[in-house]
Amino acid sequence: MTDETSDIQAPGSPTPYGEHDAMGDRAQRGDRTMRHFTIEHDGVTIPVSRGGRGRPLVLCPGLNSTQADLRELAELLRRDHDVVTFDLRGHGLASAAGRYSFEDFLGDLAAVMAGPAGRGLPAAPVLVGYSLGADLAVHYASEHPDAVAGLVLIDGANPVPEPFITEAVLPEFRAMWEELATRQEAERGTARQVLLTAQQILDLNLEIDVVRSEILDRYGKIDRPISMIMSTSMAGDGGDGHARRFNQNWRAGVERLVREHPHIATTWLEADHQLVFTHAPEIADIIRNAPGLAW
């Protein structure tokens, strides 16, 4: 594994990472300088950034989202948190990979937590995940309960009672992701690129349906505070039957989870699944005041 860091004032001159304690001291003194790392993991290069002041926080993006997409939320969180952001394989400035499974993405998160940014934090971080990132956060915390101070799950990790992708809607989802993959061609070479094909995105969503059908048991292994920030209309507020069914399924999953684990705090936002981009200030405030996560 190769880890490097550089200050944002000199992005073209990375230096070998080695002084973890010195970096931690700077963070505790309120140094807001951005630091950048490169982690080599499983044949993939993962870019990591760290900056801000206050309680440590790791922000995990979701499928088809990058740390560049989450920049507004990250900047808001850096006012009160020492924030680590990164790109998953095949996203943003991360390199392409030969595989894009749930376990592969979970390995990316684990590599970031074990890398220089994670090791250099002064305390266990709050782990914040969006969409697929929320599912990764729950799985990581259930396997490493002492490595996190708490979880904030944004529109993901939902134990929905029914799968989203059925044979009836498969053609529509396939067409949607083919259109998305075509649009993403314009982002190639930028910090917002996504290198996955439409088929890889479809396969991942089918896998995520399976993961969420089994995720309820994962929550029982986590003894840290958990807050959920969920959209009221994750599939949009259109009047068609599919959107209504998806939204009802989404709410039913959260209600099921809270019945099983009533200590989980839940906030609903009047938004769709893009809430992390459209409601960043509200989300930052909720995270700042999440129960049990005050510094």
Q: Are strands 226-231 and 150-154 parallel, antiparallel or unpaired?
A: parallel
How many whole angstroms separate alpha carbon 278 and alpha carbon 273?
Answer: 9
71 closest CA partner among 280, 294, 287: 280
pLDDT band of 1, cuts 50, 70, 90: very low
Domain ranges of the chain: 4-288
pLDDT tens digit string along 8-64?
Answer: 222 222 222 222 333 334 434 444 589 999 999 999 999 999 999 999 999 999 999
60 closest CA partner among 72, 70, 75: 70
Query: For position 256, what pLDDT does the model report?
Result: 97
Exposure class string for 224-237: b at 16+ Cβ within 10 A, else e: bbbbbbbbebbbbe
Query: For position 117, what pLDDT does the model report?
Result: 87
pLDDT band of 83, cuts 50, 70, 90: very high
**Choices 3.20.10.10, 3.90.78.10, 2.130.10.10, 3.40.50.1820: CATH for 4-288:** 3.40.50.1820
Query: For position 18, what pLDDT does the model report?
Result: 26
How many whole angstroms separate alpha carbon 65 and alpha carbon 142?
Answer: 24
Query: For position 13, what pLDDT does the model report?
Result: 25
The DSSP code for 1 is -
271 closest CA partner among 294, 241, 247, 252: 247
3-state helix, strand, coil in the chain (%, to 5): 40, 20, 40
Residues 248-276 have a mean pLDDT of: 97
Query: For position 292, what pLDDT does the model report?
Result: 86
Average pLDDT, the chain: 88
The residues, any chain, with a CB within 8 Å of residue 61's CB and separated by 6 or more, are: 67, 69, 70, 85, 86, 87, 88, 91, 92, 130, 133
Q: For residue 113, what is the enclosing H or E element?
A: helix 102-114
The DSSP code for 59 is E
